Each structure stands twice: as structure tokens, then as C-alpha cells.
């Protein structure tokens, strides 16, 4: 397989991603500032970092992934004071919500979560090292600042030109524009009503930028493999991290910088004033599935701006339904084939199954990606002929038979496995990786219909589908539980008005309730009481539960 190559913002080149030692990818990702609930733009970044770590592991790398929790900074102090709460109490609520949302989206937890307030001594020590070389200086009010003119490479990440900056000019806010580049705050002196710590450098609290440098070097050392974050953090945050870290250690900080682009919502910048600002919980309470949100946010490669649309969410849900249906069909076919069943029993493996389906065309790589491009594969479905004949619209009588190896299918499976890994190895091109999988879904469905699938073909398909789900993680259906958790949260927070009425209707039946009604329906059909069987189907349909009768039994899914 080709080496994994990623675009490195530092230098603007695509470079091999190679761990420096022990085959362990040492990576740091800027985590949340826990002052409010996370929005979908935030989660796009964390989802693409999730793809990076999952694919690196799939390719055999070990992981040491550190993510910070910023639990003290300007916005937190402002909001906590407005709420009349101490910052630790205020941030605990939003940290818990953030981690719940990450779990809902299937984002793996990093190996280390580092809270800023638990690492104050490391920040103070770093400032002392900078002060010892006259790179950090103290002002009359007791604050400490970084002299950017002592770091000649300042601006090398973002391309900032320092000409014309007044020597000694300072900025004490955490976030500012490029044309406001000044000496930045490392430590902010005590102020009434603000959280503070008594330390060797005085009473105060850390500036935002020093937090990540201290925690990254504490857990990963002065130099590590990769630093990730959203493109909005490139300046000033990441630029300042590099400056203070490299001045303190006299070594390179992160060898590779990974930045995820912004997203638009319905073609516009997301903002509360535009009425298009959505948290994950907003979308769940509107009735959208967490898996659909995950899949849509991963549909466009991380270095391309994406356009998040509600049509795209619908198409994403259809895509997942097709994938899950295919996975279940593949599992049933494998179980009915003695050779495959014996192989699975010997290895302890099996294809993941659930209520699934396929559909997401290869996404175009324009500057702003339109999720509507996904609709093409949803519409065409497995009946599209890409080099495989089909003998009719319905499965043939031979659909469950397994013949001799299908050389044409075997060749396609090998090609698509290569294409899948080539796409992800090429700067994590999630769009092309998905397209390769949907080509397989289409071809194998046709071959199953025609009875031209061998045990070897099934095993190869199963292996590729497992590689796909190891990265995209959408085949296992956890959506009902995730949505129910969002509903429970809304009720506890007094936000019942935000819950879509049809959502409450759909979730009024538990999985066990549905299974019991299906068992009753099956019994009614055996007794030829078709009126009762139809009544149960209609009752379930009214609750948003769709049934499908197959040779392997009845499957169901929620709308």
C-alpha cells in the first residue's frame, strides 16, 4: 500500500506521515473551549482528526493522541460571571456535553485529555524559561508577554509579514486578526472577578496560547509528529504556540501541521444572525441521525470547504441505509455459505451488520463542495451497471447459491480495495474512498442477484467493508439511543419545545417493543391472520417504523 501522505501547512507541501520513533504517531489536537455547546463546524474538525487516527491505526501505527480542554480563558470567564458561577462549575457542564456529543458522533477519545486548569505549574515553568532568556517580559500590572521580535521565524505557519509592527506593542485578548499581531499575553495579572492562581511569576491566570504549548510538550516532548486543529486556529493561536515553544526548547515544535477548512451552511457562513447556527443537539432534536451527520461531515475532504445542507443530510441518511442493508445482506449470504461460515468461526470475525445501505457519489473537489453531489449514487443504486450484467429487477432464484470464483468480480474487488486505500493515503481523500466502497456495493449486489458470488468473493468483500467501517464507523446502528439521550437532555434542560413531535412518536416504541410486535406479526401470518399482521405493520408505520420482509426474516428501521 502507498504511504500515508498529508498536506503540511508548514511549508505548504504534501509529505509522508511517518512517526519519528516507535511507530507511534504522537499527535496533539486543539480541543474545545468549554464555554458553550459545540456546533457542527467544531465537530467537522474533530471528525476529520478521528479519520486520521483511525486510518493511521488501520495502517499499523500506534497512537499517542493528546487533546486539551481549555477550561479557563476570556469567554469562559465572561460567561461564568454572567451566570454567577465559578468557572470550574460552569465548564464542567459544557465539558461533559462536549464529550457526550463526541461519543454520539462516534469520535474516538484521545489517549490523553489535558485540562488547562490542571497544568498551571507547567505553564508557569515554560514562562520562566522564556523569561530567563529575556523572551518573556513582565509589565507594570504583573502580566507577562512574549516578545515576537525575538523569534525571527514568527509568521512561518500563517505567512504573516512582520514588517511595520511597532516594537513592544502588545495585545492582551486571546483572539485577534493578523493585522493586529503584537507581543501577546502569556500570563494575565489578577483582576477582580476573575479566576487566578498564586505562582512564582505572580498572581494571575494563563493566556490561551501558553496552555497548548505547555500541555503538548508535557505529554509529547519538545518535538512531536503532528499538530491538528481548525483553520481558524492557524493565526494567532498556532503561530504563537510555535514561537513560544521553539524559543523555550530550541527545537522544532510539531513536524506536521494539519488544518481543517471551515464549512458553510446552506451556502452561507454559519452565524446566529443568519439563523443557520446549529449545534449537534439542535440537529438531533430536529430528527436527524447522528450517523447521518457524521457521514455528511466526512463527505468532503478536510482541506476543501464544504456546504452543509439539509438535503445533504437526507442523502447521507439514505446512503447509510443502503450501506447497512448491504452489510446485512452480505452477512446473511456469508452465514448461508458453509465455507465462509467456517472461516468466520475459525477467525472469530464476521461482517458488521445492521439496518444499512449505500449511496454517495464521488464528491467533486471544487472549492466549496455541494453535498447534493451525493444524490447521484442514491438515485442510481445498485441497479446501475458498471461492467456487470443483471438478469432482472428482482433477485434470481440463484441469488443464494455460490458458484465458482467470479474472476470479473474478484478483479473489481482487488481494484477497489486498492482505490480505497490509495484515496485515504492521498491526503485523506474521504470522497474518493467512499466512492470506491459504493462501487463495490453496487457490483456485489448485482452478483448476488445473479448468483455469481463465490465464498472467496464474499470474504474479500467482508474484509474491505470492515476496513471501511474501521474508519467511517457508520454500519452499527446506535442512532435511536443517541437521539433518545438528546431528548432526555432537552427535557432536563426545559427545552421540550425544541423536540420535533414526530421524533417523540418514532421513539415511543423501544427496540424490544418493536421486536415483540414483529414476533406477534410473524405469529399472525403463520396462523394466516393477515388482517392482524397488516394492522401491526400499519401500527408500526404510524410510529415511523419501516418493515421489510426478506428470505432471511423481517428487518426494520426507524425513519
Q: List, as residue ranges, the binding site for Zn(2+).
A: 30, 212, 237, 241
SS3 445: helix
Q: How far apart are CA 349 and CA 457, in angstroms?
A: 16
Q: Which residues are annotated as a binding site?
A: 30, 212, 237, 241, 272
How many angstroms separate the Cα of 450 from the Cα of each of 47, 107, 453? Answer: 38, 38, 8
Rg, C-alpha atoms of the chain: 27
How many angstroms separate the Cα of 98 from the Cα of each of 34, 36, 354, 535? Answer: 8, 9, 27, 43
Least Cα distance to 441 among 413, 467, 418, 479 occurs for: 413
Q: Report angle CA 17, 422, 463 to the nearest 5 degrees.
A: 110
Is residue 285 within 8 Å of residue 500, measured between CB atoms?
A: yes
DSSP letter (8 states) at residue 299: S
Residue 388 has, within 13 A of its CA and on its CB side, a CA count of: 28
Cis peptide bond upstream of 231, omega within 30: no
215: number of Cβ within 10 Å: 26
Q: Which residues are annotated as a binding site for ATP?
A: 272
DSSP letter (8 states) at residue 148: G
Least Cα distance to 467 among 150, 142, 58, 83 occurs for: 58
Q: How far apart are CA 25 and CA 16, in angstroms?
A: 12
36: number of Cβ within 10 Å: 15
Is residue 324 within 8 Å of residue 283, measured between CB atoms?
A: no
Residue 431 has, within 13 A of its CA and on its CB side, a CA count of: 18
Amino acid at each position: 500500500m502507498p504511504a500515508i501522505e498529508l498536506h503540511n501547512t508548514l511549508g505548504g507541501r504534501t509529505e509522508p506521515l511517518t512517526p519519528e520513533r516507535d511507530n507511534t504517531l504522537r499527535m496533539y489536537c486543539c480541543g474545545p473551549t468549554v464555554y458553550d455547546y459545540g456546533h457542527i463546524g467544531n465537530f467537522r474538525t474533530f471528525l476529520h482528526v478521528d479519520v486520521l487516527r483511525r486510518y493511521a491505526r488501520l495502517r499499523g501505527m500506534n497512537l499517542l493522541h493528546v487533546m486539551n480542554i481549555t477550561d479557563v480563558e476570556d469567554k469562559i470567564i465572561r460567561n461564568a460571571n454572567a451566570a454567577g458561577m465559578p468557572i470550574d462549575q460552569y465548564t464542567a457542564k459544557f465539558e461533559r456535553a462536549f464529550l457526550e456529543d463526541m461519543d454520539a458522533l462516534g469520535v474516538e477519545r484521545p489517549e490523553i485529555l489535558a485540562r488547562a486548569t490542571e497544568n498551571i505549574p507547567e505553564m508557569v515553568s515554560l514562562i520562566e524559561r522564556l523569561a530567563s532568556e529575556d523572551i518573556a517580559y513582565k509589565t507594570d500590572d504583573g502580566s507577562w508577554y512574549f516578545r515576537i521580535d525575538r523569534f525571527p521565524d514568527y509568521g512561518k505557519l500563517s505567512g504573516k509579514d512582520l514588517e511595520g509592527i511597532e516594537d513592544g506593542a502588545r495585545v492582551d485578548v486571546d483572539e485577534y486578526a493578523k493585522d493586529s499581531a503584537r507581543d501577546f499575553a502569556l500570563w494575565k495579572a489578577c483582576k477582580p472577578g476573575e479566576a487566578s492562581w498564586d505562582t512564582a511569576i505572580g498572581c494571575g491566570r494563563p493566556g490561551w496560547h501558553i496552555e497548548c504549548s505547555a500541555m503538548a510538550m508535557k505529554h509529547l516532548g519538545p518535538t512531536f509528529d503532528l499538530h491538528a486543529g481548525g483553520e481558524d486556529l492557524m493565526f494567532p493561536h498556532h503561530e504563537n504556540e510555535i514561537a513560544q515553544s521553539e524559543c523555550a526548547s530550541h527545537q522544532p515544535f510539531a513536524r506536521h501541521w494539519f488544518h481543517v477548512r471551515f464549512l458553510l451552511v446552506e451556502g452561507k457562513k454559519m452565524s446566529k444572525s443568519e439563523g443557520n447556527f446549529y449545534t449537534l443537539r439542535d440537529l438531533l432534536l430536529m430528527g436527524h441521525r447522528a450517523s447521518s451527520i457524521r457521514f455528511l461531515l466526512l463527505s468532503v475532504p478536510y482541506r476543501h470547504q464544504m456546504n452543509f445542507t439539509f438535503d445533504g443530510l437526507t442523502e447521507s441518511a439514505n446512503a447509510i441505509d443502503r450501506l447497512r442493508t448491504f452489510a446485512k445482506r452480505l452477512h446473511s449470504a456469508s452465514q448461508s455459505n458453509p465455507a465462509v461460515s467456517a472461516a468466520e468461526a475459525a477467525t472469530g470475525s464476521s461482517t458488521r451488520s445492521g439496518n444499512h445501505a449505500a449511496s454517495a457519489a464521488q464528491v467533486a473537489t471544487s472549492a466549496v463542495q455541494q453535498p447534493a453531489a451525493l444524490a447521484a449514487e442514491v438515485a442510481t443504486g445498485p441497479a446501475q451497471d458498471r461492467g456487470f450484467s443483471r438478469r432482472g429487477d428482482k433477485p434470481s432464484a440463484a441469488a443464494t447459491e455460490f458458484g465458482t470464483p467470479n474472476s470479473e468480480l474478484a478483479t473489481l474487488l482487488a481494484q477497489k480495495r486498492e482505490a480505497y486505500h490509495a484515496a485515504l493515503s492521498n491526503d485523506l481523500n474521504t470522497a474518493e474512498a467512499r466512492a470506491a466502497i459504493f462501487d463495490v456495493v453496487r457490483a456485489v449486489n448485482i452478483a448476488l442477484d445473479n448468483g455469481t458470488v463465490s465464498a472467496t468473493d464474499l470474504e474479500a468483500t467482508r474484509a474491505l467493508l470492515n476496513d471501511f467501517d474501521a474508519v467511517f464507523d457508520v454500519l452499527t446502528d446506535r442512532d435511536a439511543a443517541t437521539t433518545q439521550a438528546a431528548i432526555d437532555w432537552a427535557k432536563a434542560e426545559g427545552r421540550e419545545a425544541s423536540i420535533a413531535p414526530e421524533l417523540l412518536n418514532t421513539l415511543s416504541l423501544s427496540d424490544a417493543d418493536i421486536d415483540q410486535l414483529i414476533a406477534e406479526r410473524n405469529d399472525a401470518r403463520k396462523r394466516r391472520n393477515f388482517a392482524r399482521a397488516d394492522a401491526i405493520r400499519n401500527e408500526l408505520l404510524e410510529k415511523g417504523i419501516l418493515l421489510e420482509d426478506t428470505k432471511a426474516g423481517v428487518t426494520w428501521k426507524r425513519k
